[in-house]
Amino acid sequence: MHVDMDAFYASVEIRRDPTLRDTPLVVAGQGPRGVVLSATYDVRALGVHAGQATSRARRLAPHALFLSPEHDDYARVSGGVMEVLRSITPRVEPLSLDEAFLDLAGVTRRLGPPETVGESIRARIFDEQGITCSVGIADTKFTAKLAGALAKPDGLSVIRPEQVVDFLHPLPVDRLWGVGERTGALLTDLGLTTIGDVAHTSVETLSRALGAAAGRGLYELAWGRDRRPVIPWEPERSIGAEETFPTDVDDPVAIRRTLLALAHRTATRLRRAKTAGRTVTIKIRFADFSTITRGRTLREATDVGHEIYHVACLLHGALGLERARLRLVGIRVEGLVGGGCPRQLVLGERDPGRREVERAADAVRGRFGDSALTAATLLDRGPRARGPRGR
């Protein structure tokens, strides 16, 4: 089974503000380098799609409301969705925040036929998270994902083994996994425009044009053969955040302010995941797109934003980049340990310490929203571009 949320980021925004339900909506990074993350289906019909430059999307849909992303909210909803899926089977393979594969082996004996399981999942996600999803069910990952895509939005499709060939062969060749612009052009040069065309072409011909591995792989997929198993979820090995500047930045004050925001965002995610980490790493991307990382391992694991920020500033300062123009900065915490963050008591430490203060702030934001409380240093960054809610 392939489960995919419908216009996920936009749907979460509508869940938070139901007055936006009938509003053409685009969730996108702002500024000249912003890209689209998600759009409602009426806007997609105009040619707007994920990964597109925000400036291009604004030209295609000038009437749409453009909102800046709220990543922590999306992560919370995604966590709720994955809990629903793992209550059905432990064999869940997330592909991103908003989609996953499930292995239904053994599940149908307990919960009924695949259609029943799929409809139950769709109903629970809508009831518990307030968003819709589309479900595709088949005997392979490849076919299930295609079935789900064709069921969008808010639908369910089941392709039984005896239906696979008839389902696949009329589809355009670019629906095959691994067929991008270049491979698609090579297949078109061979006169292959549908998946059925590929299926009825010899492996030798495909291999000469595409290489042995790619040729054999596309041939197998064209006949609906896909041996990849569902690989269950593994705990995250690191948690972090990064930010691309609208224009290249060489102001150390602005860079440190950004590091502060990223440190607190990362710490919040660590606490929500009930984990902490020992290694703090910063990522620096320069104006010419070259990228470096630097890290430091702490004596004790931490989930405190102030401590992460302190280490990040030390790492940044040691690089001597006061006049360098930066395109992106990021912070990542690795070496994660579960069960929160037990600590050795320090003689003379303030009580309550920064950890207690930050956890109290988590509670405030959990009740009143992520923008309800922030560090005073970040207040002069101005309101986020969030339309009528951007105060």
Considering only CA atoms, give the Rg of the chain.
Answer: 24
Residue 299, phi then psi, degrees to nearest 5? -70, -35
Give the C-alpha distances (Å, rounded to integers) separating 258 from 36, 249, 371, 374.
22, 11, 16, 13
Beta-carbon count within 10 A of 172 CB: 12
DSSP 304: -
Known catalytic residues are 99
Residues with Cβ within 8 Å of 36's Cβ and at least 6 positions away in sequence, in order, are 26, 27, 28, 48, 49, 50, 51, 52, 53, 54, 57
Residue 98 annotated in ligand binding: yes
The count of residues in the chain is 391
Residue 139 annotated in ligand binding: no
In 62-146, DSSP assigns E strands to 65-67, 92-96, 99-102, 133-137
Beta-carbon count within 10 A of 300 CB: 12
- H helix runs in 89-113, sequence order: 107-111
Element (DSSP H or E) covering residue 306: helix 305-318
What is the C-alpha to C-alpha distance for residues 23 and 10, in angstroms, rounded to an integer? 10
Cβ burial of 247 (10 Å; 0-12, 13-18, 19+) is exposed
For 303: left if phi > 0, alpha if psi spans -120 to 50, otherwise beta; the answer is alpha
* Contact by Cβ (8 Å): 84, 124: yes
Quick one: CA torsion of 216, 102, 70, 56, rounded to 10 degrees?
30
What is the C-alpha to C-alpha distance for residues 342 and 308, in angstroms, rounded to an integer? 16
Residues with Cβ within 8 Å of 304's Cβ and at least 6 positions away in sequence, in order, are 267, 341, 354, 355, 358
Give the annotated binding-site residues.
4, 98
Give the annotated binding-site residues for Mg(2+).
4, 98
